[in-house]
Structures are given as structure tokens and as C-alpha cells.
Structure 1
Amino acid sequence: MKLIDYVQGRGARSALAKKLNLTPVLISQWANETRPVPPERCVEIEVATDGEVSRRDLRPDDWWRIWPELTAKPEVTS
């Protein structure tokens, strides 16, 4: 799931920001793709969203370079 889809509606952006101890503005910038999500934050987001937003979703162009161990696992789609 894309981050923008996850954070839309009912305070999800603020709730995620609070879980990660970040500002909602930064979450918005990542969700709107005006700033890339740093690799070191991707795992935190994946955990905070209970896997709904994966590292693969957050870094579609280079996830396999950053986390090569994920290439051995098939991607689960809903």
C-alpha cells in the first residue's frame, strides 16, 4: 500500500507521526512524495503500520539494493 493511501482520513497522518515521533508535515511530504523516505525510516514505518505499508512500497525503485534479504521472500499482495 502506498503511504498516501494509508494516511488519508481520520487522523492517520497524525497518529503515524506520533508513533514515529515525527511531525505530521514530514509524514505528508513523504506521503506526497515531495521528499523521499530515508531507508533508515522504512522499517519503522513498516512496523508502525503493521506491514500495511512495506519497505517495498516506500522505496519501489531501490528496495532490493537496500534490503537484499527481501528478494528471497515472495511479495504478498492483497
Structure 2
Amino acid sequence: MIEIVELAAEKAGGAVALSRELGIKHSSLHSWRRVPAARVLDFERITGISRHVIRPDVFGPHEDGGQ
């Protein structure tokens, strides 16, 4: 599992809870090489991790460099 997903799972109460909130199977999280762009906004809403941290390639770098 990629680092950002591991961090998000911690914030969401575990990988199962995160996958449930995203409406996907738990095993799908393990196959991600990066968070799919279509899932970023839900991912951000659930975890509080900025979209700029999750996918800087899509949303650009976070202005203050943090979360």
C-alpha cells in the first residue's frame, strides 16, 4: 500500500473504514500506485489530507508545503 493511503487509513480509522467510505473494496486500496484522480476529492473529504498533497501532479503543490 502506498504511503499516502497508509496515512489516510490511519486518519479514517483503518483501511477497511477508508474503503467503506470511498465505496470500494478493501483490496482495491492495495492495488493503487497513486490515488486515482477521480477519488481525490472524496479522499480529501474523508481524511482531511489536502488534494495538493495527495496528487500534486494534478492539483499542483500545496502553497505552504504542508497538509
TM-score by length of 1: 0.59
Where do 1:12-27 residues align within 5 Å?
12-27=14-29
> Displacement, 1:76?
6.2
Q: Matched residues in 2 for 1:46 and 1:75: separation?
A: 17
1:75 aligns with 2:53: no
Q: 5+ residue gaps in structure 1?
A: 65-70
8 Å contact kept, 1:13–1:28: no
1:21 maps to amino acid? G
Counterpart of 1:54 in structure 2 is 50
**TM-score for both structures, normalised by structure 2:** 0.66
Larger Rg: 1
Compute the displacement of 1:44 (Å): 0.4
The total of aligned residue pairs comes to: 63
Higher helix share: 2
* Structure 1 position 41, deviation (Å): 0.8
Amino acid at match of 1:18: R
Which secondary structure state, in structure 1, belongs to the residue aligned with residue 57 of structure 2?
Answer: coil
In the alignment, what sits opposite 1:45? 43
Distance 1:57 1:29, change over 3 A: farther
What is the CA-CA distance between 1:56 and the residue it aligns to?
1.7
Give the % identical residues: 25
